[in-house]
Structure 1
Amino acid sequence: MPTENTQRFGDRVDNYVRYRPHYPEAVLHYLHDSFGLAPSHTVIDIGSGTGISSEMFLKNGNHVIGIEPNEPMRTRSLSLLKDYSRFEAVDGTAEQTGLSDASADFIVAGQAFHWFDRDRAKNEFHRILKPNGVTVLMWNERLVDTEFARLYDQLIIDHAIDYVTVDHRNIEPAMIAAFFAPAKCTLKTFANSQTFDFEGLKGRLSSSSYVPNEGQPGYALMIEALKDLFNQYCKDDVITINYDTNVYVSRRAELY
């Protein structure tokens, strides 16, 4: 995970906490039913951020170790998840977690894989994963399934700093297959959505690292365009954003 990427969200923590989508509870049921996830398992959450994905596993009773290089996000996760005694957060990266060999029953990366140095992360995952352990890569992929959604995506492209470069949709299935090889991976997709008033939509947009933040050049113009778009397409003063929650799962190959 290149150094510049580890610090991208440090000035957006509040919006990230309030407006980023969570993951459907059905993901937990799927991992339990198909891959044997149990409360006794240790889950390593790579790129744990403010703890969105960690909390899902903590609610399941798991011991969760969040690996997060961004200090403001890591600190916020410790605050938000302080009531969970089985959570800890470590200053580390996907490529260098600092954890012991064979310490993970499950490795989870939620909305983070596209930041990794994939070759180095693959080696690190194999080092810390227990025999027969499971790796889970998850994304909430925003759908471009309505006229509003298409125009919202274009708004991001028009005003973004580097959206086209860093968008997680640049990750091809072949890249994921290569990361897991020689093991096979399974893709399961779940429906997800968020409904926002204008302040919520503004916060959701501002939580992304690839758009100008408040006080930066271009921010005011972006928000003006967003307001116009919201007013045109909102219904009862809210707008809905739909996602596919894509979950790629692989069990460690015996060759490793």
Structure 2
Amino acid sequence: MTTDEPALSPNDAARATSFGAVASAYDAGRPTFPVDALTWILGPGRGLQVLDLGAGTGKLAAVAAELGHDVVAVDPSEEMLSVCRQRPGIDTMVGAAESIPLAHASVDAVIVGQAFHWFDHSRALPEIARILRPNGVLGLLWNNYDTVVPWVRRVHRAIMGEDFGAPGADAFDPMPILLQSDLFAGVETARFKHWQDLDRGGLRQLALSHSRVAVLTESRRESVLEQVDSVYETSARPPEPLRMPYITGCYRTRPSDLANYRRTLDAPVAPHL
């Protein structure tokens, strides 16, 4: 695999490791993922062995488990996994995308929700290809605000701060990385709409769950929350919740012939449990 991407900057590295401190806010504030999106990635059946990589508090893993799959959630943050363990039907392991604590060819699918952009792709993609079975699938998902709605755009501006509107700010396209890799082939894409109901506290928790906000000083973080409160006060109509609209961008790909060949040289295929 070849890639020209740079390593994470010190600021990005700090943001990547900031989520453990806001695990409760992340779980309370972040949306789930659409069932249709995960079904598009995994197929309509049940009983697959699925790894949720960079699983956080298990939002995506929970959807996979509800669809009838055997799920293991891997994340480097013990704090995030402690929340994930409260969800039924999910095994957890502390680990990183660059060194996955699973055997060769041991899972049918690897799914990644809101986390692939934090990986060191030059190390993570070979690891993902290593643990996938020969006809396995890699699925990447991102919940993105639908900023066509004016009040949603205001919330997004409050969270993004001075970076709001900058080219590529808080946006990530994995397509170039996947296309450059010789370990995966045939990338497909799809988009799904869904909504999240939020009260005032939920909107605050959503803001606090963002890495850009988590690493701010206390005074700057309070400024962001004041802006978010202002949006709620001018847009909500209690007792009705605000309905945050999302567009979930999905990417689906499978190991290349080269990846499957390399894997057979390294180790035999692990049996189904």
Residue 139 of structure 1 and its aligned partner are, at CA, apart by 0.8
Identity score, percent: 26
Matched residue, 1:46? 53
Q: CA deviation at 1:27?
A: 2.2
Aligned equivalents of 1:67, 1:143: Cα separation in 2: 29
Secondary structure of the equivalent of 2:20? coil
Aligned pair in 2 of structure 1 residues 145, 120: CA closer, same or farther (>3 Å)?
same
Alignment correspondent of 1:21: 31
Structure 1 distance, partners of 2:29, 2:165, is 18
What is the distance in 1 between the residues matched to 2:101 and 2:22?
26
1:14 partner letter: S
Q: Give the stretch that moved more between structures: 55-64 or 206-215.
A: 206-215
**Residue 235 of structure 1 corresponds to which residue in structure 2?**
237
Equivalents in 2 of 1:27, 1:21: separation in Å? Answer: 14
Q: What is residue 152 of structure 1 aligned with on the other side?
A: 155
Q: Which residue of 1 aligns with 2:202?
A: 200
Uncovered stretches (5+) of structure 1, i.e. residues with no partner: none
Aligned: 1:112 with 2:115? yes
Deviation of residue 230 (structure 1)? 2.0
Query: Pick from 96, 101, 107: which aligns with 2:99?
Result: 96
TM-score of the superposed pair, with normalisation by structure 1: 0.86
Q: Does 1:12 align with 2:30?
A: no
**Tell me, what secondary structure is at the counterpart of 2:103?**
coil
- Structure 1 residue 215: deviation in Å? 8.0
Equivalent residue runs for 1:1-256 within 5 Å: 4=14, 7-32=17-42, 36=43, 38-78=45-85, 80-81=86-87, 83-84=88-89, 87-158=90-161, 168-171=170-173, 173-179=175-181, 182-212=184-214, 216-236=218-238, 238-256=241-259
* 1:145 Cα offset (Å): 0.8
**Which sections of structure 2, spanning at least 5 residues, go unmatched?**
1-6, 260-273
RMSD between superposed Cα atoms in Å: 2.7
SS state of the match for residue 228, structure 1?
helix
User: 1:107, 1:125 within 8 Å by CA — same for their partners in 2?
Assistant: yes
d(CA) in 1 for partners of 2:166, 2:210: 13
The CA distance in 1 between the partners of 2:246 and 2:152, in whole Å, is 11
- TM-score w.r.t. the length of structure 2 is 0.81
Matched-pair contact (CA < 8 Å) for 2:15–2:211: no
